[in-house]
Amino acid sequence: MPGVAPLRHLGPGRLIAVGLNSVIGGGIFILPATVAALTGAASLWGYLVAACVVAGIGTALGVLAGGVASSGGPYLYARRAFGPFTGFVVGWLFCLARLSAMANLMVGFAQYLGALLPGADAAWPRAAFILLCAAGVVATNIAGIRQTSGASSLLAIVKVATLLLLGLAGLFFLRPAAFAMAPPQPAAFLRTVLLLIYAFTGFEVLTVPAEESLDPRRDMPRALYATIAIVSGVYLLVHATSIGLLPDLATEPAPLAS
């Protein structure tokens, strides 16, 4: 409503939670097997290269977020720099990217559930789980911004803690021979990096609710950098554990469940 000030309730911790929830999803649960099939143990280097690329993008977004305290994120930056038409295109592409990412996450959830519960990957149970996921997300957002923010923080803690537990516990059972690296083919390594960049994307979402941040010019850039750093560390740890624990990682349909 015109004249109504936005509710400023997002501190640095909640902004980081938004970023972590937007990044850590289906990618890290599925891609370890995919990139291992492409480049083997050398895929660890792919994570490092992808993290460097994403850090560059994050730095650019951090500079923009530190200078613009209005809500809108990439849409607003593009509109101010290049005009309404470019902003319109970027805004719709941003929306489509989030919708397709959410669809991917829900399908990935159903795939993992099928790996953990016999029979859950059949057509009807799979469809039901996907619909329940979608309904849960919609209901949380309808409930209100405070509820959404609280759910985001809780999910971020659960996801990061679970992945850290898996990664750290797995370090005690690694097979050193699994980390023998052969020089990867350049085309395969490039494909690995491009796939992993996808797994890192999503952090740009935290720049959107700038007017709901307590101090957007200070907190937005810091939350961006913190999100990228945490995600990079978690991804490397989880992938190293996957390589060291699973002799047939490249063929695993749900590697972390295995």
pLDDT tens digits for range 97-135: 888 878 877 877 777 777 777 777 778 888 888 888 888
Distance from C-alpha of 202 to C-alpha of 44, rounded to nearest angstrom: 21
State the pLDDT confidence band at 229, using cuts at 50, 70 and 90. Answer: very high
- The single residue listed with the structure tokens 């390589």 is 243
Task: Find the largest Cα–Cα distance for the chain.
Answer: 64
Long-range CB pairs of 76-83, under 8 A, 24+ apart, other chains included: none
Amino acid at 225: Y
Long-range CB pairs of 108-115, under 8 A, 24+ apart, other chains included: 108/25, 108/26, 108/29, 108/30, 109/26, 109/133, 111/30, 111/253, 111/254, 112/29, 112/254, 112/256, 112/257, 114/254, 115/253, 115/254, 115/257, 115/258
- The single residue listed with the structure tokens 């980390």 is 179
What is the structure's pLDDT at 1?
Answer: 47
Whole-prediction pTM value? 0.81
Which has more pLDDT, 131 or 8? 131
